[in-house]
Amino acid sequence: MVVKPPSLILIIGAGLSGLTLGRLLTNAGIPNIVFEASPPKRRQGFSITLRGWGYEALLAALGDVSLSSLQKGVASDRLIGGAGWLEHARLDNSTGEVLIAPDSASVAAFRANRNALRQWIADYGEESMDIRYNHRLKSFQSKPGSVHVEFENGARFSGSLLVAADGVHSIVRQQILPHVNPEVIPAVVYHGDFSVTREEFDRTFAPLMGKANIIAGLGDNFNTPITIADANKQRYYLDWSYSRPVKGASDPLYRPDASAEEAKQIPQALLEELGSLQLAEPWASVLNPEAIQEHSVFSWTSRYVNMPPTDFEAAAKEGVVFLGDSWHAMPIFGGEGGNHAIMDAVELAEAMTSSPSDNTAAIAAFYKRAAPRTGDAIKRTRQRFLIMHRPLAEWRDLAEKKKSLAIGR
């Protein structure tokens, strides 16, 4: 029996899922091209949480790579000898006191710089990946075994399968499943980034942060995490977030329809709201009306996508498969989205290498394995927003219960 060699796979999107799939297929000798709308040096330098179940699958798929190799390449504090250590404590942001201490058996996880992680994945193989930047998808025609795509720059390509890894606002999904639209979480989320000298970090942030890469501050129905995105011997590059539930229909900080430019503007209402908070250090030095005007700030609209099986199965019949946020975007509060994007790519690559000449069988095997995992995660992360933004009194009650249980053991 003559085995038909695998034909070209077209991957739209060079995020975590697209790059991971492209890298694993390249390592397996399956031809593919990854297309990305952005230029090569797009800025996504913030950090994300890599969880054990996500990075362990990636490392195994790459050939049982060691965790230390990954941490040395992508940890937020890798340039100063760190391993992205993640402290699971929750602190009262009005006093700095620990509300919820981490359990002794903490979940395996660490903080990774997103830019570094993307580059590490792309580079981890003997053969270079074929990544085409500045290729924004314009249109495509597909059927099982035959896909034709056209980009806004005029380039055209043909292949055997179209992989939609192009995010929550997926152009592929909009064209083939126009009725599937992202839903908005009623949440106010502002994000800012800034940098400080090593001396200022040691003076202002290190006393509470220690060697951790995140300091999780909890207030009365609002959160104020501060994280290390990157660091070197001279400077620390930090991110902050301010999030809370929407307060009624006329909440001036809830702007789900803001344009990209409008989202970068700092509303006066945000300055006033932050100015009214009674925060301890280091939050007081960061989240105040004067300081944030020196930061790069934007409003983040949190969306989720929950695609029913009938839809992704219908797309599969047309030679299209979805990965990551294009299929199952999750609220950022769960800290799971990036990990599921990686898992999607690992599982699809495994299915495709098992059936290199039968994309239909590979897609069916992939969805059968991945759909229960991602469906549960969407429900879980939506619920987590309410849990993480509870009244401070509830956090204190929870802390007292944990102390009582610990004493009673």
Answer yes or no: is pLDDT of 103 > 80. Answer: no
265's CB contacts (< 8 A; 6+ apart) are none
Q: Which two tokens stand for residue 140?
A: 């495509």
CA gap 315, 310 in Å, rounded: 9
Residues 337-366 have a mean pLDDT of: 95
Answer yes or no: is pLDDT of 311 > 60. Answer: yes
Answer yes or no: is pLDDT of 343 > 80. Answer: yes
pLDDT at 2: 37
Q: Which two tokens stand for residue 368?
A: 């059968």
Whether 240 is covered by a domain: the verdict is yes
Residues 300-306 have a mean pLDDT of: 91
End of a domain among 272, 301, 330?
301
Same domain, yes or no, for 274 and 137? Answer: no
Q: Which of 17-21, 87-91, 92-96, 205-209 has the lowest mean pLDDT?
A: 87-91
CATH number at 174 reads 3.50.50.60
CA dihedral for 5, 9, 14, 18, sign (positive or negative): negative
For residue range 158-171, list pLDDT tens digits in order.
999 999 999 999 99
Give residue 242's domain range: 45-113+186-301
Answer yes or no: is pLDDT of 157 > 90. Answer: yes
Answer yes or no: is pLDDT of 106 > 70. Answer: no
Taking Cα atoms as reference points, which of 10, 321, 29 lies closest to residue 157? 10
End of a domain among 301, 330, 345?
301
Please provide residue 140's backbone torsions phi and psi, each rounded to the nearest 5 degrees.
Answer: -155, 155
For residue range 195-218, list pLDDT tens digits in order.
999 999 999 999 999 889 999 999
For residue range 376-406, list pLDDT tens digits in order.
998 888 888 888 899 999 999 888 887 776 6
End of a domain among 301, 329, 351?
301
CA gap 237, 228 in Å, rounded: 6
Beta bridge partners of 281: none
CATH number at 65 reads 3.30.9
Residue 76 neighbours by CB distance under 10 Å: 33
Same domain, yes or no, for 106 and 166? Answer: no
Same domain, yes or no, for 259 and 169? Answer: no
Kindly report the three-state secondary structure assignment for every residue of 111-122.
EEEHHHHHHHHH
The answer to whether residues 170 and 307 touch, using CB atoms and an 8 Å cutoff, is no
pLDDT at 213: 94
CA gap 346, 364 in Å, rounded: 15
The answer to whether residues 120 and 74 touch, using CB atoms and an 8 Å cutoff, is yes
| Helix intervals (H) in 171-282 | 171-176, 198-204, 206-209, 268-275
Residues 172-195 have a mean pLDDT of: 95
The DSSP string of 342-371 is HHHHHHHHHHHHHSTT-HHHHHHHHHHHHH
With 0-12 CB in 10 A as exposed, 13-18 as middle and 19+ as buried, what is 400? exposed
pLDDT at 1: 36
pTM: 0.94
Beta bridge partners of 192: 240, 297
Whether 125 is covered by a domain: the verdict is no
Residue type, 104: S
pLDDT at 46: 84
Answer yes or no: is pLDDT of 5 > 80. Answer: no
Please provide residue 215's backbone torsions phi and psi, each rounded to the nearest 5 degrees.
Answer: -125, 110
Q: Report the domain count for the chain.
A: 2
Q: Which of 42-56, 65-79, 193-207, 341-355 has the lowest mean pLDDT?
A: 42-56
Whether 126 is covered by a domain: the verdict is no
Tell me whether strands 32-35 and 131-132 are parallel, antiparallel or unpaired: parallel
pLDDT at 399: 83
Same domain, yes or no, for 32 and 71? Answer: no
Same domain, yes or no, for 254 and 342? Answer: no
